[in-house]
Amino acid sequence: MSDLVVIVYPTEARAEDMRQKVVSLQKEYLIELGDAAIAVMHEGGKIKLNQLLNTTALGAVSGSFWGLLIGAIFLMPVFGAALGAASGALGGALTDYGVNDGFMKELAANLQPGNAALFLLINKMTADKVLDAVKGTGGVVLKTSLDHSREQQLRDALAGTPRTPAAAPAPTPEGAGAPSPVG
């Protein structure tokens, strides 16, 4: 099951820096992302989405390949490539991959102009190493699907405050406690 994390930054550049940091962590196999998108609130209330994958371009490339192949069979490769690219681009533009675009725009509507929200869809992660890597990078957690303790650990890491490990039980002095069952 994937977890959704939405972090707000004061500028689009800060959100993009954080996205690049998280993508580099993915290259180190510390985190596996399903999506990493940025939503920016511009002056006048316009919201711009900056997706990690451009589905329109991917669709156009794939469509032109298949159109060229099918066009070559019917002796019209240029027409086939053009028709394939157009249909692939249209299909790619209508495809929504990762975090739902409508959901991102709905959450981003609450941002101040100039602010940016980083949407991370996390499939798997090594939590302690990822939290250490993002420690002190700033940002405010807007929404998560994490449990309360993991969400608080994320908030603390972004703020740069040290994590408090679970309290270990105090060792008991020798001769104290219950008698040993071995006689």
Query: Does residue 8 lie in a domain region?
Result: yes
Q: How far, in Å, CA of 114 to CA of 124, rounded?
A: 31
User: What would the DSSP string read from start to end of 41-59?
Assistant: EPGGG-EEEE-SS-HHHHH
Both 66 and 149 in a single domain? no
Query: Has this prediction a pTM greater than 0.75?
Result: no
Both 111 and 149 in a single domain? yes
Instruction: Give the model's pLDDT for residue 181.
Output: 47
Query: Does residue 69 lie in a domain region?
Result: yes
Both 110 and 150 in a single domain? yes
Query: Does residue 120 lie in a domain region?
Result: yes
Instruction: Give the model's pLDDT for residue 100.
Output: 80
Which residues are registered as beta bridge partners of 122?
3, 33
Both 33 and 73 in a single domain? no
> Can you give the residue range of the structural domain that contains 68?
56-94
DSSP H or E run through 89: helix 77-94
Both 42 and 61 in a single domain? no
Number of domains in the chain: 2
Instruction: Give the model's pLDDT for residue 180.
Output: 43
**Residue 3 burial (CB count, 10 A):** 17
Both 111 and 47 in a single domain? yes
Instruction: Give the model's pLDDT for residue 144.
Output: 87
Which residue stretches of the chain have pLDDT < 50? 167-168, 177-181, 183
Rg of the chain in Å (alpha carbons): 24
Cβ(58)–Cβ(64) under 8 Å?
no
Instruction: Give the model's pLDDT for residue 2.
Output: 84
- Give the CATH number, domain containing residue 19: 3.40.1520
